[in-house]
Amino acid sequence: MRFIFLILLIALFGYSLALVVYNHASNPQVELVFATVPAMNLGILLVITLILGIVTGLLLGVLVFRVVQTRWEIGRLNKELELVRARHIQAAAAAAAATATAANTTPSTPKPDEIHTPPVM
């Protein structure tokens, strides 16, 4: 279905392009702010303008999308960094608490002079 739709779209575009190029027989001279376009078929001028607009729009769109994508990635990585930092702080606090608890509950080893040996017979 997509293939048929694509073929119809291309055929319609080609037919419209042919109508524009062949039916606009006038040759106006277009004066822009910084340049003057030589007299040419109005249909061809329209097609050239359309192609330049599409190319410019695509280039600007890709550029803007990259900037937005980079900002999204930076934001996502900052959130992930904060999450990892919080987990690291929790793990360090749990390890410190476990160490403190283990130090308080383990029996102290007697000093060598406190060791009582039974008398030998």
User: Highest mean pLDDT range out of 12-16, 55-59, 79-83, 102-106?
Assistant: 79-83
Cα-Cα-Cα-Cα torsion 91, 94, 98, 101, nearest 10 degrees, comes to 160
- Residue-wise pLDDT for 25-63, tens only, equals 667 777 777 877 777 777 777 778 888 889 998 888 888
State the Cα–Cα distance between residues 66 and 73, nearest whole angstrom: 10
- Token pair 């027989």 is found at 25
Query: Are the C-beta atoms of residues 70 and 52 closer than 8 Å to each other?
Result: no
Of residues 78 and 28, more confidently modeled: 78
pTM attached to this predicted model: 0.43
Banded pLDDT at 108 (limits 50, 70, 90): low
CA distance to 12, 18, 21, 110, 115, per residue, from 42 (Å): 20, 12, 7, 105, 111
- Token pair 């919080």 is found at 86
pLDDT at 27 (0 to 100):
75
* Alpha helices (H) along 40-119: 42-105
Q: What percent of the chain has pLDDT over 70?
A: 83
